[in-house]
Chains A and B, each alone.
Chain A
Amino acid sequence: MSAPALTVTVDGASVEVPAGATVLDAARAAGRWVPTLCFDARQAPFGACRACLVGVEGAAAPLPACTTPCRDGMAIDTEDAAGRRVAHAVVELVLSELPRAPAPHTELAQVARRLGVGEPRWPGETHAPAPPDVRHPYLAFQHELCISCGRCVRACDELQGTFALTATGRGFGANVAAGLDAGFRDSACVACGACADTCPTDAITEVSLLP
């Protein structure tokens, strides 16, 4: 029933993946790390952040691992120099928009550490610092930490199916809102917590886990 498996090479090692697998799937199957920010295995690949660029033999430029399907015989270089340079810049730019560093346990902080991104080189405008929104008994917004990756919005849509969250604003005002920015409590939110679970910066987190 299942389609025939594909064989690809990841950093020189051969790995077998099912048809339909992405380059990211293949890299993970081979035990190789690829930086990601907007990716969550529970959601359809989004391809927005460009942190997961990898080298593919024969491609003119690095390709996003999360949205590129594997072809049989594909040779993948997860540490492609150009790809890594972009990933480093993406993460540094993202960090430069935040008025404070994300907590060390967050996915963004972990990716930055692993890529060796230090203090961003571009000081200047950031998201406006704001106190956390704690109008809901469990779910809190820290809007200043939102990087507009869209994971919370997609978790609400694709995992829960409540469609309570939406992307709002532009530029440094880009953020996420529950309902018409009514806060979780007065939106359609059912408090499943899928948004907090996927958020890579704690822009959405639990009230009891706020710093």
Chain B
Amino acid sequence: MTESVTTTCGYCGVGCRLEAHRREDDGIASISPALDGPANLGHTCLKGRFAHRFARHRERLTTPLIRDERGGPARAASWEEAIERIAAELGRVRAAHGPDAIAGLASSRATNEDCYAMARMMRAAIGTNNIDNCSRVCHSPTSFALRKALGLSGATGSFSDFDHTGATLLIGANPTEGHPVVGARIKQATLRGMRLVTIDPRRIELADYGVLHLAPRAGTNAAVVLGIAHVLARDGFVDHAFVAARTDGWAAFAELLPAYAPAAVEAISGVPAADLERAAHVYGEASEACIAWGLGVTEHKHGSEVVQLICDVALMTGKIGRPGSALLPLRGQNNVQGSSDMGALPDTYTAYRSVADEAVASSFEDAWGVPLSRTKGYTIPQMFDAAVAGELKAMYVFGEDVAQTDPNTAHVVHALESLDFLVCQDIFETETTKYADVILPASSFLEKSGTFTNAERRVQLVAPAIDPPGEARTDFEIIKAVSRALGHELPWATPADAMDEIAALTPDWAGISHARLGRRGLQWPVAPDGSDAPILYERAFAREGGRAHFAALPYKAPGDAADDEFPLILVTGRRLQHYNAGTMTRRTGNVELVDADVLEIHPDDAARLWISDGDRISVRSRVGRIELPAQVTDRIEPGHVFTTFHFPETRTNLLVGASADVNTSCPEYKVVAVDVRPIGEQPARVPALA
């Protein structure tokens, strides 16, 4: 070991600070936790600590690749040729079909500076607002709802709130696997006496540490949250002074509540009425309480509405804006917060300011020296629809494996095949790069500098511990080179320069600079003097008039439902050992711990279907079919099955249809009706007699 570098983990949204120790002969020797990391407090999980060997894996892309014909073999090419080809093809598409025939995806795995550069390239060099990022398919409903209810798109507090709160409602999240370091923190809090209520169709590990576990039917979160609000209102937990002084819309919300008596909610969700009452009391009786949630809330047809209802619960009880009383969305990827903050979205510039806002748009026009479109661009699902319809001709996909992770895989592949031209910028070949005309070899988080923003809105420095392999370049350099070839110079020598531009153009980021971030980062909004905001809304909300808004939204049924043909509900998620598409973790020792996706099924359902533990089974939905081994476990509720999407051999997302959140088009990954049976057994033409 020669040198050590302090950086920020590139896996999940917790934002652990890490010490990366470089080996003398190149590569990472080991990684240890930074003792002063504010989010991890000297801890890490097996992904951040051990799963780093992908960075020097022999399958890393080390040179640009070009396909001379679509679907043909890829050949190695020089950077000059690759970038010339991109500029020529994108130029041709723009000339023939206009700038809106081109779309780009920034990456929630990449830095703020990379995402800002990508957004600026699409807007200024291409001339379109067709820019989106993968937060579309995870926490876009959270972002939408928090902005609508409270004003800002971010957690209202910090992970440290778990350390001094009396109670937490944890809804649709499995932190000990998805966000292990926060999971450990919540677990420690419960061991010290924090009262935890878990709400999930799976009996997650933390359920064993809580005072109560509710297992609603998938897709009925809204009813459960409304039921909790009903009991809080009925039993005198409303903070009327807070509601009167700091909110509006209470009357309409209160009118909704009589319909959600516990018995009525039990009928919808299957959660026993008595448990619902207890859950409300656990939250209401604590003087300080938090609500945390994950993709089990958002990835639904009405996910954005459920997040608004969660805000309602915090607002009616006044449990917000104080230490220990916070709303804490557990953001999925390392920079899912930042990629959206940076305006890598089809409708907003940095800090969620509308592309249609004249003052904002002209401030960017002045800075960038080009006219900018005022028209909202395509979201990711709209991009695929437009590609299939022939309206979108070219895409530039940076750091996302859409052909594995996005829903309705067959449709995504059809879209990619329909394009005239596809650029992928990634660290490995993926399912998506199979359809690319040009593949650019990029850099992992261990090889670049910049910043990530964690789930606490904390902007933290990322520093290179090793160099990109071969001819691979940093994403920042690549995007600069492509933008220059397209005729728009991105005028920054380093990511720190890009951050200075972001700060100059974004009031909430005004006080941020790389120099100022130091070892502990800063939580936006950051004032020009550098003071940051661990707690939001202590005095006022960030909406007009400073008041939060109650949303009066009734429960609505999910987009899919079990029926005779598809009698079980599939829920998808992650495991501790792997990360999303597994591009990185499948290329580390983690595969020795877990080497396949499995389908969790309840013993009752398994017995009825003649399925034994370890059997290879077929899972069929309305749109696709996959095969994988069964794991019989009572962690999952009867009537539900669960699997992950880490292995391309499985391609779980072939099963997920087009149903999506009504406000943000975040896919409904969490409710898919399926038919499960042993391999080789044909579906009966006539339903079996009951």
Which chain B residues lie closer than 8 Å to A185 at the CB level?
593
Which chain B residues lie closer than 8 Å to A41 at the CB level?
35, 42
Judged by a CB distance under 8 angstroms, whether B30 is at the interface is yes
Give the contacting residue for B188; candidates A158, A190, A193; CB below 8 A: A158
Q: CB-defined interface of A198-211 with B at 8 Å, one 1/0 digit per residue?
A: 00000000101100
How far, in angstroms, from A192 to B32 measured CA to CA in the complex?
10
Which chain A residues lie closer than 8 Å to B44 at the CB level?
192-194, 197
In the complex with contacts A192-B184, A208-B30, A159-B43 CB distance below 8 A: yes
Q: Is the CB of B30 within 8 A of A192?
A: no
In the complex with contacts A42-B42, A190-B576, A206-B50, A197-B32 CB distance below 8 A: yes
How far, in angstroms, from A18 to B112 measured CA to CA in the complex?
38
How far, in angstroms, from A161 to B32 measured CA to CA in the complex?
18
Question: Which of chain A's residues 169-195 have a Cβ closer than 8 Å to chain B?
Answer: 185, 190-194
In the complex with contacts A160-B184, A209-B29, A138-B43 CB distance below 8 A: no
| B478 to A: closest C-beta gap in Å | 31
Which chain B residues lie closer than 8 Å to A193 at the CB level?
32, 44, 46, 49-50
Judged by a CB distance under 8 angstroms, whether A137 is at the interface is yes
Q: Is the CB of B49 within 8 A of A192?
A: yes
Which chain B residues lie closer than 8 Å to A138 at the CB level?
46, 50, 589
Q: Is the CB of A161 within 8 A of B589?
A: no
Which chain B residues lie closer than 8 Å to A191 at the CB level?
45-46, 50, 577, 593
Question: Which of chain B's residues 15-32 have a Cβ closer than 8 Å to chain A?
Answer: 29-30, 32
| B576 to A: closest C-beta gap in Å | 6
How far, in angstroms, from A36 to B79 measured CA to CA in the complex?
55
What residue in chain B is nearest A193 (Cβ atoms)? B49
Give the contacting residue for A192; candidates B29, B46, B590; CB below 8 A: B46
Give the contacting residue for A190; candidates B33, B35, B46, B592; CB below 8 A: B46
Which chain A residues lie closer than 8 Å to B43 at the CB level?
42, 159-160, 192, 194
Judged by a CB distance under 8 angstroms, whether B244 is at the interface is no
Which chain B residues lie closer than 8 Å to A158 at the CB level?
188
How far, in angstroms, from A161 to B180 measured CA to CA in the complex?
11
Q: Is the CB of B46 within 8 A of A209?
A: no
Q: Is the CB of A190 within 8 A of B50?
A: no
Q: How many residues of B contact A (CB 8 A)?
A: 26
How far, in angstroms, from A137 to B46 measured CA to CA in the complex?
11
Question: Which of chain B's residues 39-78 have a Cβ closer than 8 Å to chain A?
Answer: 41-46, 49-50
Which chain A residues lie closer than 8 Å to B29 at the CB level?
208-209
How far, in angstroms, from A42 to B209 measured CA to CA in the complex?
21
Judged by a CB distance under 8 angstroms, whether B670 is at the interface is no
| B168 to A: closest C-beta gap in Å | 15
Question: Which of chain B's residues 588-616 have a Cβ closer than 8 Å to chain A?
Answer: 589-590, 592-593
Which chain A residues lie closer than 8 Å to B254 at the CB level?
none
Which chain A residues lie closer than 8 Å to B593 at the CB level?
137, 185, 191
How far, in angstroms, from A190 to B594 measured CA to CA in the complex?
12
| A51 to B: closest C-beta gap in Å | 20
How far, in angstroms, from A158 to B41 measured CA to CA in the complex?
12
In the complex with contacts A41-B35, A137-B592, A197-B32, A190-B42 CB distance below 8 A: no
Q: CB-defined interface of A15-49 with B at 8 Å, one 1/0 digit per residue?
A: 00000000000000000000000000110000000
How far, in angstroms, from A161 to B45 measured CA to CA in the complex?
12
Which chain A residues lie closer than 8 Å to B191 at the CB level?
161
Q: Is the CB of A190 within 8 A of B180?
A: yes
Q: CB-defined interface of A34-75 with B at 8 Å, one 1/0 digit per residue?
A: 000000011000000000000000000000000000000000
How far, in angstroms, from A161 to B182 measured CA to CA in the complex?
11
What residue in chain B is nearest A185 (Cβ atoms)? B593
What residue in chain A is nearest B181 (Cβ atoms)? A192
Q: Is the CB of B30 within 8 A of A161?
A: no
How far, in angstroms, from A137 to B33 measured CA to CA in the complex?
19
What residue in chain A is nearest B43 (Cβ atoms)? A159
Which chain A residues lie closer than 8 Å to B576 at the CB level?
190
In the complex with contacts A159-B42, A161-B188, A193-B50, A209-B180 CB distance below 8 A: no
How far, in angstroms, from A160 to B186 measured CA to CA in the complex?
10
How far, in angstroms, from A192 to B29 measured CA to CA in the complex?
17
How far, in angstroms, from A42 to B188 measured CA to CA in the complex?
12
How far, in angstroms, from A196 to B41 measured CA to CA in the complex?
16
Q: Is the CB of B41 within 8 A of A192?
A: no
Which chain A residues lie closer than 8 Å to B589 at the CB level?
137-138
| B44 to A: closest C-beta gap in Å | 6
Q: CB-defined interface of B220-257 with A at 8 Å, one 1/0 digit per residue?
A: 00000000000000000000000000000000000000
| B42 to A: closest C-beta gap in Å | 5
| B297 to A: closest C-beta gap in Å | 24
| A148 to B: closest C-beta gap in Å | 22
Judged by a CB distance under 8 angstroms, whether B187 is at the interface is yes
What residue in chain B is nearest A160 (Cβ atoms)? B184
- Determine which residue in A192, A194, A197 has the highest number of CB atoms from chain B within 10 A of its CB, and name it: A192
Which chain B residues lie closer than 8 Å to A209 at the CB level?
29-30
| B171 to A: closest C-beta gap in Å | 21
Q: Is the CB of B41 within 8 A of A42?
A: yes
| B594 to A: closest C-beta gap in Å | 11
Q: Is the CB of B33 within 8 A of A197?
A: yes
How far, in angstroms, from A190 to B188 measured CA to CA in the complex?
16
How far, in angstroms, from A42 to B184 measured CA to CA in the complex?
13
Q: Is the CB of B184 within 8 A of A159?
A: yes
In the complex with contacts A161-B187, A161-B191, A197-B32, A192-B45 CB distance below 8 A: yes
Which chain B residues lie closer than 8 Å to A137 at the CB level?
50, 589-590, 592-593
Pick the 6 closest A-B CB pairs, nearest first: A137-B589, A191-B46, A161-B187, A137-B592, A193-B49, A138-B50
CB-defined A-B contacts under 8 Å, sample of 14: A42-B35, A42-B41, A42-B42, A137-B593, A138-B589, A159-B188, A190-B45, A190-B46, A191-B577, A192-B46, A194-B43, A197-B42, A206-B30, A208-B30
Which residues does A use to contact B, with CB under 8 Å? 41-42, 137-138, 158-161, 185, 190-194, 197, 206, 208-209
Given contacts A193-B44, A197-B49, 18 further A-B contacts (CB under 8 A): A41-B42, A42-B41, A42-B42, A137-B592, A138-B50, A159-B43, A159-B184, A160-B43, A160-B184, A161-B191, A190-B176, A191-B593, A192-B46, A192-B49, A194-B43, A197-B42, A197-B44, A209-B29
